[in-house]
Amino acid sequence: MTFFQRLRRSLSAAPAPPAPVVTPAPLAIVSVSQPPVLSTQPGTTRSAYTPEPLPAWLADEDSLRDEGVLFGLSEARPDGKVAQIRAFFARQTAPFDEMVDESTERIGELNLFIEQRENRITTLRDQINELLAREPRPNNLIRTVVSLVLSLGVCVCNFYLIDETLRPLFPNRLIAVGVFLAGMFNLFSRTSFLYEDGPQLSVRRILAETGLPLAASVFVLVQALQSQSTGQAIALFSFVFFLFLLAGNLFLSNLVALQTALANIDANRQSIQTKAQRLPGWQAEIDRLNQEVDTLRIQKWPLVTALNHTQAQITQLNTRRDELVNLFVSEFELARSLRDRLSEQQRNSMLNYE
């Protein structure tokens, strides 16, 4: 019976002698329906949770209204009863809060495992794409070998030309070898000033690179004048001098190009072997990681569903708690606002009703 029904009955009934105060018997406890049990891990069953039953005055709204009216007509404050209601529901939601913490922790672990495997998959795919995009290095081996053979032939022919020129006066071939090596002195320098641009050349460097080739060519010229005409000797001098300057560096350049070509061929061979050896293994690892990610997601989604359901249960309990608190407070405030308008006999009649 609501407060207004009690008030109407109290005002319309005949005055009656005050009734003795009856001590109410202990209220019967009505158990609340058990919420569904949720598991925190797939394939496992959590031990059944039996919620603490609510007392009848809290489980039944009419009884809660009566409590609010009794507190409103008395001198008691509502804070204690409100705290009692909140404490009951806090004990109701405590197991669900524990479930939420466990599920959240487990989902976080699964997300970490999934992230680690996805990062590894991304790394492997980047390595595969990099390996597939690697172009074969150009080697120009045939051109380099031909150039090397030609430059070597030029040097050999230059030696025989010097040898034929010096033989009438110097029959010993070692003299021709010495002159030839002296003229090829610039072969041992790292670079030649003929192939460089930009920096200003010093006289010392020009003399260092052209001194011995020039001296060897002049020596050949002097010997050629003894057996050949002046024009032939000058032509031989010019030819031998420029061969000394250019042939040595040309020969070394071809050797460096040959070394680069062989290194490129070896790199291409290693790249082919790497593709044949690593690509199948990387692809198999990606497939395995994808299967593991799918397995982890299968384990994760039941946990997410259980977590959402548990949070919905918590929200439902909190909403019910707020409704009951508001119901009690509203009945209390209404009874408290009308308490001073009632006579002592009417208040006692309402307090001892039933």
Domain ranges, residue 142: 133-290
Tell me if 148 is assigned to some domain: yes
Cα separation, 306 vs 293, whole angstroms: 20
Contacts of 37 (CB under 8 A, 6+ apart): 45, 46, 48, 49
User: Are the CB atoms for 275 and 131 separated by under 8 Å?
Assistant: yes
pLDDT at 165: 85
Tell me if 89 is assigned to some domain: no
pLDDT at 301: 93
pLDDT at 305: 93
Tell me if 245 is assigned to some domain: yes
pLDDT at 335: 82
**Residue 29 φ/ψ, nearest 5 degrees:** -90, 125
Helices (H) and strands (E) in the chain, counts: 9, 0
Radius of gyration of the chain (CA): 53
Cα separation, 141 vs 198, whole angstroms: 31
Tell me if 65 is assigned to some domain: no
pLDDT at 29: 29
User: Are the CB atoms for 318 and 89 separated by under 8 Å?
Assistant: yes
Q: Within 10 A of 244 (CB to CB), how many other CB atoms are there?
A: 26
Into how many domains does the chain fold? 1
Residue 133, CA distances (Å) to 51, 241, 271, 279 in order: 64, 49, 11, 13
Tell me if 64 is assigned to some domain: no
Burial class (CB in 10 A: 0-12, 13-18, 19+), 77: exposed
Contacts of 171 (CB under 8 A, 6+ apart): none
As given in the structure block, the two tokens for residue 277 are: 């050896």
Per-residue pLDDT of the chain (354 residues; tens, 9 = 90+): 554 455 445 444 434 333 333 333 333 323 333 333 344 444 444 544 566 777 777 778 888 888 888 888 777 788 888 998 898 889 888 999 999 999 999 999 999 999 999 999 999 999 999 888 888 888 778 888 888 888 888 888 888 888 888 888 888 888 888 888 877 766 555 555 565 555 566 667 667 677 778 888 888 888 888 878 888 888 988 888 888 877 767 777 778 888 888 888 888 888 888 888 888 999 999 999 999 999 999 999 999 999 999 999 999 999 999 999 999 899 888 888 877 776 666 666 665 654
Tell me if 57 is assigned to some domain: no
Instruction: Name the pTM for this structure.
Output: 0.55
Tell me if 122 is assigned to some domain: no
Cα separation, 184 vs 165, whole angstroms: 17
pLDDT at 23: 33
pLDDT at 342: 66
Tell me if 266 is assigned to some domain: yes
Burial class (CB in 10 A: 0-12, 13-18, 19+), 82: middle
